[in-house]
Chains A and B, each alone.
Chain A
Amino acid sequence: EDQVTQSPEALRLQEGESSSLNCSYTVSGLRGLFWYRQDPGKGPEFLFTLYSAGEEKEKERLKATLTKKESFLHITAPKPEDSATYLCAVDDNFNKFYFGSGTKLNVKP
């Protein structure tokens, strides 16, 4: 069965303290891995798409990487406004998204 697991469930950082979020997946055929940010009471906001192992994408303080079994979202020198839940999703070849349960990030000033 296709699965997406995110860790940790929650992460508390001090402003400026870099860290990484993990998304491990098992799907029969990966068409793409996606990272989203979700603020409370809002829909997910698209961040990155990764298609193949070794690929990397960057946006401001965020950098996403992909291997054959997992993806990392690296946050460099985070700010309080980076506080949100970060969701990982994979698209198998059958046009479906499988979402992980998310990592709730809290960045303290």
Chain B
Amino acid sequence: GAVVSQHPSRVICKSGTSVKIECRSLDFQATTMFWYRQFPKQSLMLMATSNEGSKATYEQGVEKDKFLINHASLTLSTLTVTSAHPEDSSFYICSARDTAGGTYEQYFGPGTRLTVT
């Protein structure tokens, strides 16, 4: 149980284009999902908290107009990187919390490697 998927696993795009990443909780409902970014040999950096049916909460320094988050259902959150630039190249990971389970652990997706050329 508690499986989270992400799609795509890898994406290469040209500078100036937009990329959408999907995060799905496969066997549980998640009112809260999280988006992280991870640079090589570094730990996870929280970008935003996504709540179903409401606006995402962004961490300080994260541009909300550049990283659009939509949590349209209890099993799906999307992150759209708009007008991507090479500095946006990174490993993006989502996580979900099984709120019905009454616990606080987050279950992580496998990650999406974004390369902007």
Q: Which residues from chain A sit less than 8 Å from chain B, CB to CB?
A: 31-32, 34, 36, 41-46, 49, 87, 89, 91, 95-97, 99-102
Contact = CB atoms under 8 A, between A and B. Distances in A.
Contact of A41 (B103, B105, B113): B113
A31 B104 contact: yes
Chain B interface category by residue count? 20 to 34
B44 interface: yes
A96 B107 contact: no
A34 B107 CA distance: 11
A53 B107 CA distance: 23
A87 B44 contact: yes
27 contacts: A31-B104, A32-B104, A32-B105, A34-B104, A41-B111, A42-B110, A42-B111, A43-B4, A43-B6, A43-B95, A43-B108, A43-B109, A43-B110, A44-B108, A46-B2, A49-B103, A49-B104, A49-B105, A87-B43, A89-B106, A91-B104, A96-B49, A97-B46, A99-B43, A99-B44, A101-B42, A101-B43
Interface in B55-90: none
B30 to A, nearest CB: 13
With most chain A CB atoms within 10 A of its CB, the pick from B6, B34, B104 is B104
Given A97-B46, A101-B43, 7 more contacts: A32-B104, A36-B108, A43-B6, A43-B111, A45-B108, A89-B106, A97-B34
The 5 closest A-B pairs by CB, nearest first: A43-B108, A32-B104, A44-B108, A101-B43, A43-B111
B52 to A, nearest CB: 14
Nearest to B42: A101
B93 interface: yes
